[in-house]
Structure 1
Amino acid sequence: MRVVLSTYGSRGSVEPIAGLAVQLRELGAEVRVCAPPDEEFADLLAGVGVPLVPTGRPVRPLVTSVTPGSAVGLAQRAAELMAAQFDTVAAAAEGCDALVATGPLPATAGARSVAEKLGIRYVHVSHQPAVLPSPYRRPPARRGQPLPPDVTDNRVLWDLDAQIANAMFGEELNTQRASVGLPPVDNVRDYAFTDRPWLATDPTLDPWQPTDLDVVQTGAWILTDERPLPAELMAFLDAGELPVYVGFGSMPMGSLKDVARVAVEAIRAQGRRVLVSRGWADLGLIDDQDDCFVVGEVNQQALFRRVAAVVHHGSAGTTTTATRAGVPQVVVPQGADQPYWGGRVAELGIGAAHNGPTPTFESLSAALRTALTPETRARATAVAGTIRTDGSTVAAKLLLDTVSRERPPVPA
């Protein structure tokens, strides 16, 4: 069986797809991944022996050059991303039995169109719940398209979100579809999601409440990381008490301009050493004192087990990794689904959710005092034991079983 996996986004989008790819391959499937051509993603996939089909423009320079929340250039980027599905992904999917897609709506709508044209199984996957229509929460605002603050009926807002998505992406999608002989669609969002989307999140961290959608929650797709920690980092860890980790992943500089200074000062005030992760914002040390250490891309699965707390932006991937490690968290959300994950961390009692994206010494100190209590550490340890680790295996088996059932019988 041959499967193509399509994604577009930062590491939080690519790494789970790599986790699924590994499990599919172990079950005997031939797999290829269509993902951005960033060097770190190519290295990630090469490290697990999965072929990369470079798709679209590199993500990191795009993320770090676009003003957060700005819609400038969005139409062009969406058109390019959609065209890549009809071109690169379509070519990669030739002869395949299934196409699994995740990422921005222009990408997944294009991917489903490709699967429709080729007559193969299509699965839409979300790695966070905020984008899936639900009467229990407001839809996230799309770039440049704020939702009316006076409307409180979530069902009305989700209907409006579908209309906004059509206005933003419908014409381009239907132009691309017409070019390959497909009829137009009148609801881009629901077409891309299908009526049975998959949700690759952990049910403890993200307890999905039933809706009109037949959502299949598989558990988070985790790619096991067996890389050793660098010798210099190990020496720092071994030289004193557990430090506090500060990292914001692929978040651009934006409101993070002063976060390293604020974090170091607030963590020191708690009597703790500091680990600063550079990330895409290129954070660094604020002085040359030996109680601080800076790291680049590193095995977080191993590192988080060696720290007192993790201060981070609240992406689905980092939140899941920290929760699995049993380490208290402070979530400083920068946007998108991150406030949701911060809320879940606070509700579970495994850390604190900072109010807003820009911490001050006082606000971060208060959050750290909550995270660094013995009670929070004990609760984080307890919750860690409930986090599933088999999500990618569940998804791989489900996909292969579904495709096998749908295949026509082989003539005798």
Structure 2
Amino acid sequence: MRVLLTTWGSRGDVEPLAGLAVALRALGVRARVCAPPDEEFVTLLARAGVPLVPLGPTVRSVVAGDTPPTARDAFRLAPELVAARFGTLAAAADGCQALLATGLLPAGARDVAEQLGIPYVFACFHTVGLPSRHVAPGARPGTPSPRDETDNRVLWEQDAQRVNALYGEALNRHRAAIGLPPVGNVRDHVLTDRPWLAADATLWPAQGMTDLGVVRTGAWFLPDERPLPEGLEAFLGAGAPPVYVGFGSMAAHAPAGIARAAVEAVRAQGHRVLLARGWADPSPVDDVDDCFVIGEVNQQALFRRVAAVVHHGGAGTTTAAARAGAPQVVVPRIVDQPYWGTRVAELGIGSVHHGPEPTRDSLSAALRTALDPAVRRRARAVAGAVRTDGAAVAARLLLDTAVRATPSASR
């Protein structure tokens, strides 16, 4: 049995697929991953022993330029990714019994599965972007909705129009080329009526957040047994647990001076600092030896040994910190990050930084809350409720989906 997993997005979109592929392998299912060819993703998937088929441009080339991507960039990228999926996925899925897609709206993936006659599954790591009568859609490139429009049903219809403007022409042109009829609502076509939600139920409760019948699997973790680097071990052993500060791919366009503000805020609370490079590749703000800069490391091991985690609020980092029982300070920027921050605060396992421009004082205040002993006790309690079998659950579901769709004579 073989399956194809595909995504285009940041590490938070790629690493869960590596975890799912490893869980599938444990069931005797061979999985390959179509993902952007960023060097860190190539390394990540190689470490997991999962074949990578390059898909589209690197994410870093799109999001980590001198300026943040614009709406014009989005309208260039959308048809490029549609074309890449029709070309790359069709070849990569040959001989596969199922195709699962996630990440930036994977227009083209369902259509390749349809062409090949195999099941298609859309998976997501949060419910932002899934239609809901109770929650308004987030921002998307294209014509904005009128400011005075408050009816969520109307707002979601306008969101679907924006998706059509981004992907519709390219998708239907490629569908016509392989003999498939046009799609009228690209968003709903991609999402399906039963998307899989790969998020922990404690951290992201889905009730009331979408009208779709989501299939909850739990978060997908990639097991990581790597030891921490020698220098990092020495730093950890030289004093009290430090505070981790890292903003992942968001660091490329984080507010100016955020690294210095964060380091000064941590120092103001009497702690040492672990500063993660992310995609900004920051240098120490000074030569004081209470700040240690790290690259890509085993977060599962590291987060159990820090006083708190200050981060951007991505699904992967939020869940990893919660699983480790580490108090958190979420500094959200886009999409799902504000809700992860809100949820961290609601659960009492940390705090969320409000406002677009973090300063030494504002970050220090948020960190003071997270470092309260009661918050650490609560974080440790919640850690016990975070399920770690999400990838195994999803692997069994995907195997069952593929088997049900496979004629008995060819099994």
Q: Same fold (TM over 0.5)?
A: yes
Q: Give the match's secondary structure for 2:149.
A: coil
The 3 A distance-change label for structure 1 pair 411 and 327 is closer
Partner of 1:177: 175
For 1:322 and 1:352, locate their aligned partners in 2 and report how far apart those are by CA, in whole Å. Answer: 13
The 3 A distance-change label for structure 1 pair 334 and 294 is same
Residue type matched to 1:35 in 2?
Answer: A
Q: Give the match's secondary structure for 1:73.
A: helix
For 1:225 and 1:64, locate their aligned partners in 2 and report how far apart those are by CA, in whole Å. Answer: 27
Partner of 1:340: 339
Residue type matched to 2:380 in 1?
Answer: T
- Cα contact 2:272–2:291 (8 A) shared by 1: yes
Partner of 1:65: 65
Residue type matched to 1:180 in 2?
Answer: I
For 1:257 and 1:143, locate their aligned partners in 2 and report how far apart those are by CA, in whole Å. Answer: 24
For 1:272 and 1:161, locate their aligned partners in 2 and report how far apart those are by CA, in whole Å. Answer: 45
- Cα contact 1:229–1:299 (8 A) shared by 2: yes
1:104-123 matches, cutoff 5 A = 104-105=104-105, 108-123=106-121
1:375-390 matches, cutoff 5 A = 375-390=374-389
Query: Which string of whole-angstrom CA distances, capped at 9 and with x for unpartnered residues, describes residues 44-65 of structure 1?
Result: 1111111111111111122101
* Aligned Cα root-mean-square deviation (Å): 1.5
Partner of 1:370: 369
- Cα contact 2:79–2:170 (8 A) shared by 1: yes
Residue type matched to 2:13 in 1?
Answer: S
The 3 A distance-change label for structure 1 pair 135 and 66 is farther
- Cα contact 1:267–1:365 (8 A) shared by 2: yes
- Cα contact 1:249–1:279 (8 A) shared by 2: yes
Task: Give TM-score scaled by structure 1 length.
Answer: 0.97
The 3 A distance-change label for structure 1 pair 153 and 67 is farther
For 2:276 and 2:146, locate their aligned partners in 1 and report how far apart those are by CA, in whole Å. Answer: 37
For 2:318 and 2:65, locate their aligned partners in 1 and report how far apart those are by CA, in whole Å. Answer: 25
The 3 A distance-change label for structure 1 pair 283 and 357 is farther
Query: Which string of whole-angstrom CA distances, capped at 9 and with x for unpartnered residues, describes residues 267-291 of structure 1?
Result: 1111111110010022221100111
Query: Which string of whole-angstrom CA distances, capped at 9 and with x for unpartnered residues, describes residues 222-256 of structure 1?
Result: 10111110000010011011111100011143233
Partner of 1:247: 246
Identity of aligned residues (%): 65
Query: Which string of whole-angstrom CA distances, capped at 9 and with x for unpartnered residues, describes residues 200-228 of structure 1?
Result: 00000001115431110100011011111
The 3 A distance-change label for structure 1 pair 143 and 68 is farther
Q: Give the match's secondary structure for 1:87.
A: helix
- Are 1:207 and 2:209 matched, yes or no? no
Partner of 2:311: 312
- Are 1:128 and 2:136 matched, yes or no? no
- Cα contact 2:277–2:294 (8 A) shared by 1: yes
For 2:410 and 2:206, locate their aligned partners in 1 and report how far apart those are by CA, in whole Å. Answer: 42
Number of matched pairs: 410
For 2:355 and 2:159, locate their aligned partners in 1 and report how far apart those are by CA, in whole Å. Answer: 24
- Are 1:192 and 2:187 matched, yes or no? no
For 1:38 and 1:69, locate their aligned partners in 2 and report how far apart those are by CA, in whole Å. Answer: 17
Partner of 1:5: 5
For 1:191 and 1:219, locate their aligned partners in 2 and report how far apart those are by CA, in whole Å. Answer: 24
Q: Give the match's secondary structure for 1:124.
A: strand
The 3 A distance-change label for structure 1 pair 3 and 231 is same
For 1:141 and 1:60, locate their aligned partners in 2 and report how far apart those are by CA, in whole Å. Answer: 22
- Cα contact 1:246–1:276 (8 A) shared by 2: yes
Partner of 2:293: 294
Instruction: Report deviation, 1:144.
Output: 4.4
- Cα contact 1:135–1:154 (8 A) shared by 2: yes
For 2:280 and 2:131, locate their aligned partners in 1 and report how far apart those are by CA, in whole Å. Answer: 31
The 3 A distance-change label for structure 1 pair 139 and 66 is farther
- Cα contact 1:219–1:392 (8 A) shared by 2: yes
Residue type matched to 1:209 in 2?
Answer: Q
For 1:147 and 1:323, locate their aligned partners in 2 and report how far apart those are by CA, in whole Å. Answer: 36
- Cα contact 2:244–2:274 (8 A) shared by 1: yes
Residue type matched to 2:175 in 1?
Answer: R
Query: Which string of whole-angstrom CA distances, capped at 9 and with x for unpartnered residues, describes residues 20-53 of structure 1?
Result: 0011111011211101111111111111111111
- Cα contact 1:63–1:252 (8 A) shared by 2: no
For 1:305 and 1:147, locate their aligned partners in 2 and report how far apart those are by CA, in whole Å. Answer: 44
Instruction: Report deviation, 1:411.
Output: 8.4
> Tell me, which stretches of 5 or more residues in structure 2 are unaligned?
none
For 2:30 and 2:375, locate their aligned partners in 1 and report how far apart those are by CA, in whole Å. Answer: 44
The 3 A distance-change label for structure 1 pair 144 and 289 is farther
Partner of 2:149: 151
Task: Give TM-score scaled by structure 2 length.
Answer: 0.97
